[in-house]
Structure 1
Amino acid sequence: MASSSSLLVRGRAFALVVAVALVAAPRRINGGAAGPAARTNDPNWHVFSVSSLLPSSACTASKAASNSSALGVVHRHGPCSPVQARRRGGGGAVTHAEILERDQARVDSIHRKVAGAGGAPSVVDPARASEQGVSLPAQRGISLGTGNYVVSVGLGTPAKQYAVIFDTGSDLSWVQCKPCADCYEQQDPLFDPSLSSTYAAVACGAPECQELDASGCSSDSRCRYEVQYGDQSQTDGNLVRDTLTLSASDTLPGFVFGCGDQNAGLFGQGEGVAAVAGRAELRPWPGGRPSLPLGGPPPANAQFTALADGATPSFYYIDLVGIKVGGRAIRIPATAFAAAGGTVIDSGTVITRLPPRAYAPLRAAFARSMAQYKKAPALSILDTCYDFTGHRTAQIPTVELAFAGGATVSLDFTGVLYVSKVSQACLAFAPNADDSSIAILGNTQQKTFAVAYDVANQRIGFGAKGCS
């Protein structure tokens, strides 16, 4: 089973195509479950082998990643992860409870940002900051939670490879650089500007510097940046430009990114961040906005929904309008999602969050269909769990998400359940604390889909079986 995904990069259409897959989709199995007769031919049910619940320890490349111009996107904890392959000296595997706790921290940070907490930053000259007893104002980001997905990108000439956190919720791409006043430990050598023939610093007066929410000017007229994430992680450094290599056939000269020389926090083993946040970040800025510019045609089978207006340009917003369980629409108040401010689609959030008045009927409908299975203890934020011990095959109802404009996305089996072990398979949705907090479509529900961020046409598409 695959534990990878792919980011297709074909041309410069500025339509971001992301295929997110943590494990392969299980096949429908022509065999009976240990219990009621398996609904093998019923399109409203998933029938799967219980042995397929847990991911493989072996890395199998995603089919979508076979294209020579594709940029691989893999789960940080999966067998295909370059971070896992490079780990030294143990440190212990992260637990599912820890993953979900960090996920909640990220969700809380998104909710705070959407609600407008923190206020607008001001600009301070960092060259005089120490004299005045103040620090460079921060461009505030959301909690990374150490990041769920990583990509390997090349920087400089000749290109050096770096495993960076891939995040649609961050605004600035950056890596750790030499010379570094305070950097956390990483596996690869820090990016060394002196070894690249195409490196250049960005001047204070450059458009790229002025476009940052918060920037300053060093004593030698270099553009300085600082980002403080919601989990108190921080990066501080120079804004620079150099050649970005996405694949053997796809390079981008003059890519603008942060060269961090003071970095600390919960970045795990990631060597920086590949940021693709907000609709503004993917259009061709005159000077080259410091985010990751990616392009490619949307998948032919994609169902599209229009991008919606949101409270902040740092996120992508869509209109989730309904949910079906086992082919039947559940009763959700018509205003449930609009009253919460809409829905954010986020690559860094693991579990989809819903307003309580949308989650409650989803949970109830799913639970009614699972009455034949023994209940299992709750897992952190997940309160609807089942024990499949003793079953050779199992079956769960399909879950479909309906979006504005008629797009209906039938989730893969792996997008319905979050599995810690065979004896604890949980409905992969959770409620927000209240009905006024925005809904978030997490990456578990995006598994196996090619998700097309078609910014030029202001829409997002979901292509089934985008990768496996």
Structure 2
Amino acid sequence: MGGWRGVIVGVTWVLVVVESVWRSSAQHQFDLVHRYAHMEGSSARAGKDGGMSLDHYHTLRKHDQRRLRRMLPEVVSFPISGDNDIFAMGLYYTRISLGTPPQQFYVDVDTGSNVAWVKCAPCTGCEHSGDVPVPMSTFDPRKSTTKISISCTDAECGVLNKKLQCSPERLSCPYSLLYGDGSSTAGYYLNDVFTFNQVPSDNSTAKSGTARLVFGCGGTQTGSWSVDGLLGFGPTTVSLPNQLAQQNISVNIFAHCLQGDVSGRGSLVIGTIREPDLVYTPMVFGEDHYNVQLLNIGISGRNVTTPASFDLEYTGGVIIDSGTTLTYLVQPAYDEFRRGVIDAAPTAISQIGDNENNTRSCFIYADSIEGSFPNVTLYFAEGAIMTLSPKNYLYKQMLTSGLTAYCFSWLVSTSPPGYKTYTIFGDNVLKDKLIVYDNAVQPKRIGWKDFDCAQGISVSSTATSMPVTVMPSEAGPPGASNSGIKDHSNGALSPCWLFTVGITSLLFHRFL
């Protein structure tokens, strides 16, 4: 059984899509919510300054364990079984509308997935299970006047469904996804109207914008899905960014910036990113995920790992996935990294273990880690470098004794029998950086730079058209909207439409 090769990049946040048409600048608003924002140690709780609670840590670990099993390669067999565990899903969800008249749904947003799908009526196994406080809905195709069925004989079905048998007697093009954690969804593909909340850049009266979306209409589910479906941002032709690009609604480039401070805001934009000093590394060719190649990890100016630790042939490469909360390193890279940090620590530290299978490595330290502990350097293919600060690999934990501890948020990676072991960089690594996914060039590439996510991102429909600055959202829960776009065209009509997804102040949890 195969694994991934390279680095898989998975994301779930704020969206801005740029269209090259002569209209005034506008944005489409999505308000995203972090699943664990209510827990102590998240950006939404007053307890964040005291560090992450132990209950919060164990919740994130359980989420990651389920997430990593779910990220195993999708297969087409479909078991009528499953468990009831909410931690199979991504970290962030939003509200979307499908059909005419619009029917509303809460869905996970995930670059680790490609197919968009929602639960459809009639539905088996669609009962709500989980702690996401949103109402559950199922899409009823009979109530939509704009749906277009996709049959087995349609050429489009062959593109969408390369694995399942599609016999001529079947009326609809089927889909079936089985995730590595045992959860699954199955049904058939539909084409219908996808509605955005379009907010003009001058914050005048909101209106709706639409695009056609091919998505899975899932009538059978197993496992526990505590929202109505999933919106995939992966690199294949069925993902949302690719479908928008195929309709000439946007270019096939998007970027995100996750704000790591107390406010917990962030943004994701679709369009040509006009920020200077981005560093790029090529994606690994032929993968169904966003893969890049990591070569080495450096601490205090010296490499602490070897390229063999990340060999694509034996380890399955490295995954970057914001849907995973922490970071996981293969052996021996983890031991080398941990030893390198401790050797570079400013003073002798008193190490403590964890009561749960010693899965954490913590130590007593009363002072600030910024400026005291070393930065970590990640070396990627083609000379690309990413620098991380201590807050990207340590989090604060208050002990019952009143002492302050810091724990590694990088842990040992494991894999099921028959699968390659891989490294995964999670949400804690990606904050305070602008990350760009450029699928419009060959070879495709991923870029980044250190970035103040409270500032706007400069984006345009093409490399030569007039840019606009997309400001981070200060929206409330799903349904509210208060994002801002600053137009640099001096009041003239701008050749772009902007579809934005707003981040709520509750969106991102915090490690320190």
Question: Normalized against structure 2, the TM-score is what?
Answer: 0.62
Identify the residue that residue 139 of structure 2 maps to in structure 1. 191
Conservation of the 8 A alpha-carbon contact between 1:149 and 1:165: yes
Identify the residue that residue 440 of structure 2 maps to in structure 1. 456
Report whether the alignment pairs 1:432 with 2:413. Answer: yes
Identify the residue that residue 207 of structure 1 maps to in structure 2. 155
> Which is worse superposed, 150-159 or 275-284?
275-284
Equivalent residues in 2 for 1:129-168 (5 A)? 145-168=88-111
Q: Once superposed, what is the RMSD of the aligned Cα atoms? A: 3.9
Identify the residue that residue 489 of structure 2 maps to in structure 1. none
Shift of 1:317: 1.1
Identify the residue that residue 272 of structure 1 maps to in structure 2. 229
Measure, in 1, the Cα distance between the counterparts of 2:105 and 2:339: 45
Measure, in 2, the Cα distance between the counterparts of 1:373 and 1:164: 44
Conservation of the 8 A alpha-carbon contact between 1:243 and 1:251: no
Identify the residue that residue 505 of structure 2 maps to in structure 1. none
Identify the residue that residue 58 of structure 2 maps to in structure 1. 97
Residue aligned with 1:316, SS: coil
Q: Identify if the C-alpha distance between structure 1 residues 353 and 333 changes in structure 2 by more than 3 Å, giving closer, same or farther.
A: same
Corresponding residue to 1:348 among 320, 323, 337: 323
Measure, in 1, the Cα distance between the counterparts of 2:324 and 2:315: 17
Equivalent residues in 2 for 1:165-184 (5 A)? 165-184=108-127
Identity of matched residues, %? 25
Conservation of the 8 A alpha-carbon contact between 2:296 and 2:306: no
Q: Identify if the C-alpha distance between structure 1 residues 429 and 350 changes in structure 2 by more than 3 Å, giving closer, same or farther.
A: same
Structure 2 residue identity aligned to 1:234: S
Conservation of the 8 A alpha-carbon contact between 1:73 and 1:150: yes
- Tell me the alpha carbon deviations over residues 20-78 of structure 1, each in whole angstroms, 9 at most, x when there is no partner: xxxxxxxxxxxxxxxxxxxxxxxxxxxxxxxxxxxxxxxxxxxxxxx944645442222
Report whether the alignment pairs 1:465 with 2:465. Answer: no
Identify the residue that residue 308 of structure 1 maps to in structure 2. 284
Shift of 1:456: 1.6
Conservation of the 8 A alpha-carbon contact between 2:150 and 2:191: yes
Conservation of the 8 A alpha-carbon contact between 1:419 and 1:425: yes
Corresponding residue to 2:378 among 355, 377, 401: 401
> Which is worse superposed, 415-424 or 349-358?
415-424
Conservation of the 8 A alpha-carbon contact between 1:216 and 1:225: no
Report whether the alignment pairs 1:10 with 2:12. Answer: no
Identify the residue that residue 221 of structure 2 maps to in structure 1. 263
Report whether the alignment pairs 1:444 with 2:428. Answer: yes
Residue aligned with 1:317, SS: coil
- Tell me the alpha carbon deviations over residues 362-389 of structure 1, each in whole angstroms, 9 at most, x when there is no partner: 111112344454434336685322345x
Structure 2 residue identity aligned to 1:318: V
Q: Identify if the C-alpha distance between structure 1 residues 413 and 202 changes in structure 2 by more than 3 Å, giving closer, same or farther.
A: farther
Measure, in 1, the Cα distance between the counterparts of 2:280 and 2:306: 23
Conservation of the 8 A alpha-carbon contact between 1:6 and 1:467: no
Measure, in 2, the Cα distance between the counterparts of 1:380 and 1:253: 49
Identify the residue that residue 181 of structure 2 maps to in structure 1. 231
Q: Identify if the C-alpha distance between structure 1 residues 323 and 451 changes in structure 2 by more than 3 Å, giving closer, same or farther.
A: same
Measure, in 2, the Cα distance between the counterparts of 1:70 and 1:349: 24
Measure, in 1, the Cα distance between the counterparts of 2:303 and 2:196: 43
Q: Identify if the C-alpha distance between structure 1 residues 69 and 450 changes in structure 2 by more than 3 Å, giving closer, same or farther.
A: farther
Residue aligned with 1:183, SS: coil
Measure, in 2, the Cα distance between the counterparts of 1:439 and 1:193: 41
Residue aligned with 1:11, SS: strand
Shift of 1:174: 0.8
Residue aligned with 2:307, SS: coil
Shift of 1:419: 4.8
- Tell me the alpha carbon deviations over residues 95-145 of structure 1, each in whole angstroms, 9 at most, x when there is no partner: 4224313413433554x53xxxx9x758xxxxxxxxxxxx7999xxxx972
Measure, in 2, the Cα distance between the counterparts of 1:420 and 1:162: 37
Q: Identify if the C-alpha distance between structure 1 residues 417 and 270 changes in structure 2 by more than 3 Å, giving closer, same or farther.
A: farther
Conservation of the 8 A alpha-carbon contact between 1:147 and 1:167: yes
Structure 2 residue identity aligned to 1:183: C
Structure 1 residue identity aligned to 2:139: F
Structure 2 residue identity aligned to 1:443: D
Q: Identify if the C-alpha distance between structure 1 residues 405 and 218 changes in structure 2 by more than 3 Å, giving closer, same or farther.
A: same
- Tell me the alpha carbon deviations over residues 258-302 of structure 1, each in whole angstroms, 9 at most, x when there is no partner: 1112223132x22211112345555459988xxxx8632236143
Shift of 1:445: 0.9
Q: Identify if the C-alpha distance between structure 1 residues 465 and 287 changes in structure 2 by more than 3 Å, giving closer, same or farther.
A: closer
Conservation of the 8 A alpha-carbon contact between 2:294 and 2:318: yes
Conservation of the 8 A alpha-carbon contact between 2:297 and 2:337: yes
> Which is worse superposed, 431-440 or 154-163?
431-440
Residue aligned with 1:383, SS: coil
Measure, in 1, the Cα distance between the counterparts of 2:397 and 2:236: 34
Name stretches of at least 5 consecutive residues in structure 2 with no aligned partner. 1-10, 21-25, 45-53, 129-133, 200-207, 255-269, 455-512
Equivalent residues in 2 for 1:353-372 (5 A)? 353-370=328-345, 371-372=347-348
Higher relative contact order (CA 8 A, sep 6+): 2
Measure, in 1, the Cα distance between the counterparts of 2:422 and 2:176: 27
Report whether the alignment pairs 1:297 with 2:281. Answer: no
Conservation of the 8 A alpha-carbon contact between 1:151 and 1:164: yes
Measure, in 2, the Cα distance between the counterparts of 1:218 and 1:348: 38
Identify the residue that residue 332 of structure 1 maps to in structure 2. 305
Conservation of the 8 A alpha-carbon contact between 2:28 and 2:209: no
Shift of 1:219: 6.8
Q: Number of residues paired by the alignment? A: 370
Report whether the alignment pairs 1:375 with 2:333. Answer: no
